[in-house]
């Protein structure tokens, strides 16, 4: 006897077609229209546990805002008692990355077509004040007609009102603009354009313009825009790529400059779409109302805040051996001598243990927002000995 298909609202849910750290993606069918869709399923408990409420709500809202033929479309968001269901356009052609791996370099005409579609999509995002910040072939999908679709807005940014520069270092190293690595604030639009230039190079060459086995060497090359174009690149393609991969964001060509470029304009047909399509975020707000209440409760219970959260780039720069600041600021051609410790224990356990050990050694400890101040009461052993005892005690 055939098992009845599971339904979520008007969608009949089928097989799992993808699985990530925080979500599963299932094939589903709209029973009213017969349209195939991709259903991203997230557990509310997981979202709360990893404090991802704001990030996921932002990603969903952005995908609804940036409706464009070359961007994966978000249809709607539904909520169950324990799960959130994100209904997305079902894109069947796979990743552009897989096409490059399978086929190697693409010919100039095909590369230009994908690049034109990418620029159209990115331009639309920027017109809405959205900066993707993680553009790479793995995040570019292809539909059944071979059209490009930008996906994965998990690192996207909407600049705060009155703030012109972004400051979060994020993205994939080989595709990241030098100013993003400089930790001095950057223009999201210029950074996205740089990533588009790297993608164009990869499409036509079949390999990356900047690639090294270690991060410091890679970042030096990126910062100096140290690359060369293969002999099969046409003069027009070379010229445009060099204008895009300009390490100075002030002189780097922008979207409008790219659209006016002779090489880019060849066979260019701008995509048509509804410019003033009304976007309604009511379903997003409704879905996140109850989960935000739980999130707010958790935050209030931990009124002292929490330990500093860092992304991978920031963790890398904490390592003395990989301190990259000197690569971007000649005034910082030195590395401070610092000792850092990493623990798998929860922050509260670490702080409590530090307090116990320090007080036992005649130190008066004041803790605020996970930052510690230790005042000397009497002659004691050096602080590094305290830290050593602490680490041993936590093994």
Buried b (16+ CB within 10 A) or exposed e, 366-392: eeeeeeeebeeeeeeeeeeebeebbee
CA 68 – CA 55 distance, rounded (Å) = 22
Q: How far apart, in Å, are the Cα atoms of 210 and each of 214, 217, 324?
A: 11, 10, 16
CA 62 – CA 132 distance, rounded (Å) = 10
CA angle 43, 49, 53 (to 5 degrees): 70
Angle between helices 53-65 and 282-301 (to 10 degrees): 160
CA 70 – CA 140 distance, rounded (Å) = 9
CA 51 – CA 66 distance, rounded (Å) = 25
Decide if 247 contacts 225 (C-beta within 8 A). yes
- Assess whether 214 carries a catalytic annotation: no
Give the number of residues written for the chain.
Answer: 395
Report the Cα 382 to chain-centroid distance in Å: 42
Q: Which of 54, 98, 120, 134 is catalytic?
A: 134
Does 49 count as an annotated binding residue? yes
CA 124 – CA 106 distance, rounded (Å) = 25
Long-range pairs for 387-392: beta carbons < 8 A, 24 or more residues apart: 387/339, 387/341, 389/357, 390/353, 390/354, 390/357, 391/341, 391/343
Pick out the residues of the known binding site: 49
Active site residues: 134
Pick out the residues of the known binding site for ATP: 49
């Amino acid at each position: 006897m055939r098992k009845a298909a599971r339904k979520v609202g008007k969608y009949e849910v089928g097989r799992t077609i993808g699985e990530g750290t925080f979500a599963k993606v299932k094939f589903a069918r709209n029973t009213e229209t017969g349209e195939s869709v991709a259903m991203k399923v997230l557990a509310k408990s997981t979202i709360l546990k990893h404090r991802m409420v704001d990030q996921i709500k932002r990603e969903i809202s952005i995908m609804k805002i940036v409706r464009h033929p070359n961007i994966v479309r978000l249809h709607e968001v539904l909520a169950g008692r324990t799960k959130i269901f994100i209904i997305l356009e079902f894109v069947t052609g796979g990743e552009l990355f897989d096409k490059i791996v399978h086929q190697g370099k693409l010919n100039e005409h095909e590369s230009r077509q994908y690049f034109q579609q990418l620029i159209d999509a990115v331009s639309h995002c920027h017109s809405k004040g959205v900066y993707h910040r993680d553009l790479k072939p793995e995040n570019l999908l292809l539909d059944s007609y071979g059209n490009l679709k930008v996906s994965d807005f998990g690192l996207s940014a909407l600049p705060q009102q009155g703030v012109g520069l972004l400051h979060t270092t994020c993205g994939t190293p080989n595709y990241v603009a030098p100013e993003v690595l400089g930790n001095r604030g950057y223009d999201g639009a210029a950074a996205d354009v740089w990533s588009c230039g790297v993608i164009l190079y990869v499409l036509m060459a079949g390999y990356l313009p900047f690639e090294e086995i270690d991060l410091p060497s890679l970042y030096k090359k990126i910062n100096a825009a140290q690359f060369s174009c293969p002999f099969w690149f046409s003069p027009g393609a070379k010229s445009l790529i060099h204008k895009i991969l300009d390490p100075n964001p002030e002189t780097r060509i922008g979207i409008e400059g790219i659209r006016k470029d002779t090489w880019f304009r060849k066979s260019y047909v701008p995509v048509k779409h509804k410019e003033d399509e009304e976007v309604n975020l009511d379903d997003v707000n409704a879905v996140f109302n109850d989960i935000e209440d739980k999130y707010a409760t958790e935050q209030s219970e931990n009124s002292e805040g929490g330990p500093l959260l860092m992304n991978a780039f920031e963790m890398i720069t904490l390592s003395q051996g990989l301190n990259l600041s000197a690569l971007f600021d000649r005034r910082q051609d030195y590395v401070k001598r610092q000792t850092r410790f990493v623990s798998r224990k929860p922050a509260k356990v670490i702080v409590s243990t530090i307090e116990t050990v320090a007080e036992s050694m005649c130190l008066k400890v004041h803790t605020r927002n996970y930052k510690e101040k230790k005042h000397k009461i009497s002659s004691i052993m050096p602080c590094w000995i305290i830290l050593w005892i602490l680490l041993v005690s936590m093994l």
